[in-house]
Amino acid sequence: MEGGAEAVKSGTRGGGQVCQICGDGVGTTAEGDVFAACDVCGFPVCRPCYEYERKDGTQACPQCKTKYKRHKGSPAIRGEEGDDTDADDTSDFNYPASGNDDQKQKIADRIMVIVLRLVVLSIFLHYRITNPVRNAYPLWLLSVICEIWFALSWILDQFPKWFPINRETYLDRLALRYDREGEPSQLAAVDIFVSTVDPMKEPPLVTANTVLSILAVDYPVDKVSCYVSDDGAAMLTFDALAETSEFARKWVPFVKKYNIEPRAPEWYFSQKIDYLKDKVHPSFVKDRRAMKREYEEFKIRINGLVAKAQKVPEEGWIMQDGTPWPGNNTRDHPGMIQVFLGHSGGLDTEGNELPRLVYVSREKRPGFQHHKKAGAMNALVRVSAVLTNGQYMLNLDCDHYINNSKALREAMCFLMDPNLGRSVCYVQFPQRFDGIDRNDRYANRNTVFFDINLRGLDGIQGPVYVGTGCVFNRTALYGYEPPIKQKKKGGFLSSLCGGRKKASKSKKGSDKKSQKHVDSSVPVFNLEDIEEGVEGAGFDDEKSLLMSQMSLEKRFGQSAAFVASTLMEYGGVPQSATPESLLKEAIHVISCGYEDKTEWGSEIGWIYGSVTEDILTGFKMHARGWRSIYCMPKRPAFKGSAPINLSDRLNQVLRWALGSVEILFSRHCPLWYGYGGRLKFLERFAYINTTIYPLTSIPLLIYCVLPAICLLTGKFIIPEISNFASIWFISLFLSIFATGILEMRWSGVGIDEWWRNEQFWVIGGISAHLFAVFQGLLKVLAGIDTNFTVTSKASDEDGDFAELYMFKWTTLLIPPTTILIINLVGVVAGTSYAINSGYQSWGPLFGKLFFAFWVIVHLYPFLKGLMGRQNRTPTIVVVWAILLASIFSLLWVRIDPFTTRVTGPDTQTCGINC
């Protein structure tokens, strides 16, 4: 990175020595170098003019508008601290935009309300603990335990969001330094990964649109390579990718010529907007019509391949050259690599070069553990390192296309930043989705998580990795630590939230000093040590032995080509390597036994041990001291498809929760892993919350059942409260609403999205999270792997959101259905009892009804999901409801609260006349 930056600087400074503001000589520094006011573009400005601009002027370079940095000997201006460079969160290409007073005030108000709520919560819990309900002691005790757990969960959720920041990027400044027109681009190379398994569940047309958006990205074509992982070894995927590569030759020049957004054809042509807006080229309409016709023909060819794949021939699939398809046995086949487009022959219809497109299917053999998606991603890391070795890597799910063609440039504003970039392990973008109904009934957008939680973490050590839409630093994935920075003494608060740090004063050469590693799980050397060791930089015999080829191969695997690629800090492959030798080595590194006795999956690459390998992988990087960045461009970088009906949504949430439970009971549990390292305290809070949240399902289930029990038994979990005590109850509810409102203010999340999130927190908590806890315990403690799958067939609804009304029966629906019914029964029973007992019983009833309606209102989207469209209640739901209603009716008759229980006459009192 620095080499590329220096090349640009030398080209701009070599010209004049005359100040372009006053005409005087620029002058020199104390060291005798030419004074450079702006270290970005080198615009000639003398020292007096530089000082004037900093104090009374715009404080920015007149040419590139970069904010002037403070040079040695320059007096500090208001708002500046220290003697040298900016903190690690500031840069030439991006700034935290939390500096405006309105945003700061919103955050300050929110912190104040959080503290106030914490005080009120403490007083409320003290009252609850010291005022037991004697005639309903078990119910009271259960409710208090649940409330204490909810309070702890809230603290875990709130504290990591205390210091949110909003970032802005400046693509013009990035281009000024690394991508000047007429000069060779200095932007770093990026390898893009797309993962797919089953083309019947992940339609090839969807994958094709993702690939087409990648090939058309606004980035130097020689710096982009797309790798598609087919972990199902399906000939359908292979053939569809071949068709996609041919269509790309027509699609890519069209979208680049007319600057089309988005660059996935399915979503571009389906937009209901005025496509002529801002298009002034006279041939645009004609070309668009022709391209739409080409795309329709492309879709027909893809759909034809899908139809053909419905019936597998008895002898298996045969390729066009007459040889059997190597992947006919999906569990026993060799590794396969096919380069469809490349830098030597991949040209579009206008003769321009296209990015490289590579099909990869790793070797599968019986008896080997392949580690599902995490294993496939690690195979892609090795293949890409051998073939192209891009310095950075972007991973996308097959249904997440590039919606903003400048997405890679947005990421480079952070990763290639001279101050910040070397300590960044990845840049995470929020997930955005297409095809969701306006009301977002099941909170598919996850807006609260993406727009509140992750933005809050960006102010500490960075957001967690969420599995897709993430640009990685390859060095960080190899298990190395970031360069050590000189920490600014910021006290306890700085250590909690990762406060601003001063950049080290040392020059580039001093960065290559050996680092002291604090985590025994990471190597005792870093990438720069290896380079110096290979060059014979004077290490002693013991250290030279550690960094020998044998030591590296033991860590990375038995591939000299791959090991050599890890020594190239800025990526690239040796010029002497031939394509044939590289392909042969690439086949070797995706063999199923390659990872044996290496650190792949334990310290290198995507980490194994959980179905949510994304959380675990990001956690390991943060524990080593890396920081991540959250990038939210105005135009969403990526968009994908979300599960839309209730059953699919619950199964998705189940998988996420199960992965969290697996991490919680593993050696990587954030409660105890990585102490003594460089993980910020509040960042650890966030990871603890990420893994422990499924356990909240147990107290949540109890708390949702308690209102029904209280209504059926006539007892209550709260004693009769005084006027003074009622103030604390009211204060608690007001503080809950206040924190929610202020959270929405600074994040921009709407109240409808916030409320949908609250509803689905209850729905998912008493279904998917609950199942995940028990399934995780069975898997961890007994080794039993139980899968809860959707078993019913979807309905045949029509319309744009027909899938929303599909009903697929799954066992995940049982707990919420039961809770919903017993609360409805409880409301009817409690109301009936009050009517028969007179007005004096209505006072206690209102408190019980309030809690029961709280449960019912939160489960309302679930009820709508069960009912489907009007008058279309599934039979299974009717049967289940009748069964539960019958059981509770029998129990109700047994309790019989409307009559006084007769126990017989008291003969001792009234004698024989009784």
Asked if the bond preceding 463 is cis, omega within 30° of 0, the reply is no
DSSP 17-44: -B-TTT-SB--B-TTSPBP-S-TTT---
Residue in 92, 179, 614, 648 annotated catalytic: 614
Residue recorded with tokens 């001792």 = 908
In degrees and rounded to multiples of 5, residue 854 shows phi and psi of -55, -45
Instruction: Kindly state the greatest CA–CA separation across the chain.
Output: 126
Among 20, 15, 11, smallest CA distance to 40 is for 11
Assess whether 179 carries a catalytic annotation: no
Looking at residue 104, its amino acid is K
Give the residue from 510, 20, 82, 504 showing the smallest Cα distance to 35. 20
Residue 881 CB: number of other CB atoms within 10 A? 17
Q: Give just the sign of the alpha carbon dihedral 549, 555, 561, 567.
A: negative
Q: Residue 472, CB half-sphere, CA atoms under 13 Å: how many?
A: 30
**Residue 473: strand pairing partners:** 392
Q: Which amino acid is located at 899 in the chain? A: T
CA distance 704 to 699: 9
HSE (CB half, 13 Å, CA atoms) of 324? 11
Which is it for strands 167-169 and 94-96: parallel, antiparallel or unpaired? antiparallel
Find out whether the peptide bond into 220 is cis, omega within 30 degrees of 0. no
From the number of C-beta atoms within 10 Å of its C-beta (0-12, 13-18, 19+), residue 192 rates as buried
Kind plus residue range of the DSSP H or E element containing 756? helix 751-764
Q: What is the pairing mode between strands 627-630 and 424-428? A: parallel
Q: What is the DSSP string of 380-404?
A: HHHHHHHHT--SEEEEEETT-EESS
Angle at 202 between CA 196 and CA 203, to 5 degrees: 120
DSSP label at 395? E
DSSP 8-state secondary structure symbol assigned to residue 445: T
Q: Is 90 helix (H, G, I), strand (E, B) or coil?
A: coil
- How many Cβ atoms sit within 10 Å of the Cβ of residue 300? 10
Residue 117, amino acid: R
DSSP 599-614: -BTTTBSSPPSSS-HH
Indicate which residue of 39, 179, 191, 231 is catalytic: 231
Task: For residue 614, indicate whether it is catalytic.
Answer: yes
Residue 484 burial (C-beta neighbours within 10 Å; 0-12, 13-18, 19+)? middle
Which residues belong to the active site? 231, 614
